[in-house]
Amino acid sequence: MNLKLGIVGLPNVGKSTLFNALTKQSVPAENYPFCTIDPNVGIVAVADKRLFDIANIAKPARTTPAVIEFVDIAGLVKGAASGAGLGNKFLSHIKEVDAIVQVIRAFDNSNITHVENSVNPTRDIELINTELILKDMETVANRQAGIGSKAKFDKVLGALSEHLTELSKHLEEGKLAKDFPLPEDEDAAKERKGLFLITDKPVIFLVNATKDADMEPLKEILENQNYITMDIKTEYDLATMNEADRKMFMDELGLQETGLERLTRAAYDLLGLISYFTEGPEEVRAWTIEKGWKAPLAGTAIHTDFLKKFIACDVCYFQDYLDIGGWNNCKNVGKVRLEGKDYVVKDGDIVVFRHG
């Protein structure tokens, strides 16, 4: 499975500059609203040192990391849900992502205009959430209209219709869809999930802040949220440097990892994702799965047939692989285990699947 993150925020908060820094692609990042006309999409390798440590021992023909797909969506403005600015066209793109990265501006710079004419991170978060909620209200209303009188004769649609009525009231109070429980009826719950409501999605708040930015106003609103702070301009500068200069600059700034690495880790933690590895002379590769997946399901990251045709799997922990010096050496000292269909794959496992 590949992770897909949507970058959203008001115009001129640093979204496109962040996208450029993450993907090292050149997309416009000019100082005016709606510079991003269509969502820019970038496929970015997950920076996982373990993968390349394994490859240094296995010496494969190729090394393939896991990837994240970043979608840079045009800046939202007040009234976007009803068509202001570039409106609904861009809100629809957010439905397709696994999680939202909401970029919040917390720096002052008179040379970079703010669409609301002042820097106020708390107001900006509330403004964006309001537009997302309004879009969800539209989606719920459309689904209700589509159900119509059929709800009277269909148990599932009846349960869904009742749920959507209450959900609509919840949204009208300015509350997020994810804070409203799913229907008890499993089929109705499945229908609700199928709406792909924007405010059902998990969010990482990325606060674009310089070193001297005042973070005090954000403490209360971000207290129980998933968030990271980042100087996006610095991240962009780092992304454009060669490896030697980047390392020297990061040492000077006291940075242990790049913004991409921190954002990746935050996204994996938020969504409950882990990585396992496969290794051999042809390829060393990282695979992304959900934490808690058993071996047959984890194998579907490679091929869907593994779920039905799984027999067993050989497993070695990556640190043992590194310490002992490769698969065969691990096997010789008993560090390769044979596991069955009930084995829960762990983060950092190196796995060889046996299948029919």
* DSSP string over 23-77: H-------SSTT---S-EEEEEE---HHHHHHHHHH--SEEE--EEEEEEPPPP-
pLDDT tops 90 at residue 135: no
Identify the pLDDT of residue 37.
Answer: 44
Among 16-25, 29-38, 76-85, whose mean pLDDT is lowest? 29-38
Q: Which residue has the higher pLDDT, 176 or 31?
A: 176
Among 4-8, 131-135, 148-152, 197-201, whose mean pLDDT is lowest? 148-152
Percent pLDDT > 70 in the chain is: 87
**Span 168-199, pLDDT tens digits:** 999 999 999 999 999 988 998 999 999 999 99
Identify the pLDDT of residue 98.
Answer: 93
Question: Rounded CA gap, 300 and 10, in Å?
Answer: 38
pLDDT tops 50 at residue 31: no
Identify the pLDDT of residue 16.
Answer: 84
Mean pLDDT of the 280-306 span: 96
Mean pLDDT of the 88-117 span: 76
What pTM did the predictor assign? 0.84
Q: Where is mean pLDDT largest: 75-79, 149-153, 164-168?
A: 164-168
Identify the pLDDT of residue 149.
Answer: 83
The b/e string for 198-226 (b: 16+ C-beta within 10 A; e otherwise) is bbbbebbbbbbbeeebeeeebeeebeeee
Cβ neighbours of residue 25 closer than 8 Å, sequence gap 6 or more = 19, 40, 42
pLDDT tops 70 at residue 34: no
pLDDT tops 70 at residue 87: no
Mean pLDDT of the 196-220 span: 85
Identify the pLDDT of residue 35.
Answer: 45
Identify the pLDDT of residue 32.
Answer: 41
In which band, very low, low, confident or very high, does the pLDDT at 29 lie, cut at 50, 70 and 90? Answer: very low
pLDDT tops 90 at residue 200: yes
Average pLDDT, the chain: 87
User: Are 212 and 108 within 8 A, CB to CB?
Assistant: no
pLDDT tops 70 at residue 115: no
Identify the pLDDT of residue 289.
Answer: 97
In which band, very low, low, confident or very high, does the pLDDT at 356 lie, cut at 50, 70 and 90? Answer: confident
Identify the pLDDT of residue 27.
Answer: 47
Identify the pLDDT of residue 78.
Answer: 63
